[in-house]
Amino acid sequence: MTLTRTSSYKQRQKKDTYLMNPVKFTLWLFLVTVTMFFAAFTSAVVLRQGGGSWLYFKIPTTFTISTITIILSSITMQWAYYAAKKNEIAQNRIALWLTLALGTSFVVTQYLGFGALINENVFLAGKSANVAGSFFYVIVGLHALHVIGGVIFLIFTLAAAYQYKVHSKNMLRINLCTTYWHFIGGLWVYLFAFLSWIS
């Protein structure tokens, strides 16, 4: 009987060690898919650039501002995570509000950046469009959609924080939100560096 209980305990312990939370696993699977998607896109850009007739243009300063904004939002998001871990509820809420404000500002500056590109005669489509401009709009636009998804995630996390559902004993939501937010922030830094290089 003792041997059976010991064996059963060891099996459960091994299972707990290797199993990942299904929601967390789904998020990581999604992030891997997004990474592969943007990697394919950037590879296509490099190949197309080598084909000639590539329009070189200056990226508007607005996109630099948005880059700084999303880096700052990653810092405030990490602050929110640590505050939740320490059960500092008020600080967690403040940090989430700041992250939400910065995330929203990022989307707004991206939109303004598109306006600046149009003023420079860089278009998405039409007779005056160049494939370089089209790639730029598509890549930036798709990333912006992922940020909007992150903003919605933040709103739900913030709502949960006001319902006292974000604390040291309930870290899954803030953990997922932090992981996703850092990912889209890091992804943008990479994309911005890449787009600056090809432009």
pLDDT confidence bin for 11, thresholds 50/70/90 = low
User: What's the pLDDT tens digit per position in 128-148?
Assistant: 778 888 899 999 999 999 999
46-71 mean pLDDT: 90
Q: Coil, helix or strand for 185? A: helix
User: What's the pLDDT tens digit per position in 22-32?
Assistant: 999 999 999 99
Average pLDDT score, the chain? 90
DSSP state for residue 120 in the 8-state scheme: T
* Residue 172 in tokens: 């899954």
For 133, residues 6+ apart whose C-beta sits below 8 A from its C-beta are 55, 57, 117, 122, 123, 124
**CA end-to-end distance (rounded Å), the chain:** 71
For the entire predicted model, the pTM comes to 0.88
Token match 């059963």: residue? Answer: 8
Task: Flag whether pLDDT at 97 surpasses 90.
Answer: yes
Q: Coil, helix or strand for 170? A: strand
Count, in order, helices (H) and strands (E) of the chain: 6, 0
